[in-house]
Structure 1
Amino acid sequence: MGRWIPYIVVSLIWLALSWHAAAQHHYRRLLWWLGCWGLATLTWTPVAFSFGSDTVGQVTTHWIAGGIWVLRPFERASMDTSFWLNIVMTMPQGMLLGLNWPRLRWPQWLLAGLATGLTLETGQAIGNWLVSLGRWVDINDVLTNCLGIVLGAGLMWWVRQRTQVRK
Structure 2
Amino acid sequence: MIRWLPFILVSILWVSLSLRDWQHAQRRRIWWWLGCWGLSTLTWTPVALSFGNSVGQIQTFWWAGGIWVIWPLQPASIDTSFWLNILMTVPQGIIWQYNHSHHRWRQWLLAGLGVGLTLEAGQALFNRLVNLGRWVDINDVITNCLGVVIGAAIMLVLQRRYQTLQ
Look up the SS of the partner of 2:68 in the other structure.
strand
Q: Aligned to 1:48, what secondary structure does the other structure show?
A: coil
Cα deviation code 1:34-76 (max 9, x no counterpart): 00010011000111011221412x0000001000000011111
**Partner of 2:96 in structure 1?**
97
- Partner AA of 2:61 in structure 1: H
Q: Describe how 1:3-152 pairs up with structure 2 within 5 A.
A: 3-56=3-56, 58-152=57-151
Q: Secondary structure at the match of 2:55?
A: coil
State the SS of the aligned residue for 1:104: coil
Aligned AA (1:50)? S
Show the counterpart of 2:156: 157
**Residue identity (%):** 60
Any runs of at least 4 consecutive aligned residues in structure 1 with deviations exceeding 6 A, and if so which? Answer: none
User: SS state of the match for residue 47, structure 1?
Assistant: coil
The secondary structure found in structure 2 opposite 1:21 is: helix
Letter in 1 for 2:6: P
- Structure 2: give runs of 5+ residues left out of the alignment: none
Amino acid at match of 2:29: R
Look up the SS of the partner of 2:67 in the other structure.
Answer: strand
Please tell me the residue identity of whatever aligns with 1:3.
R
Q: Which segments of 5 or more consecutive residues in structure 1 lack a partner in the other structure?
A: none
**Amino acid of the residue matched to residue 73 of structure 2?**
F
Distance (Å, rounded) in 2 between the aligned partners of 1:32 and 1:119: 14
Query: TM-score, with normalisation over the residues of structure 2?
Result: 0.95
Letter in 1 for 2:92: Q
Alpha-carbon distance, 1:123 to partner = 0.1
Distance 1:31 1:128 in 2: 28
Q: RMSD across aligned C-alpha pairs, in angstroms?
A: 0.9
Deviation of residue 22 (structure 1)?
A: 2.2
Aligned length: 163
TM-score (norm 1): 0.95
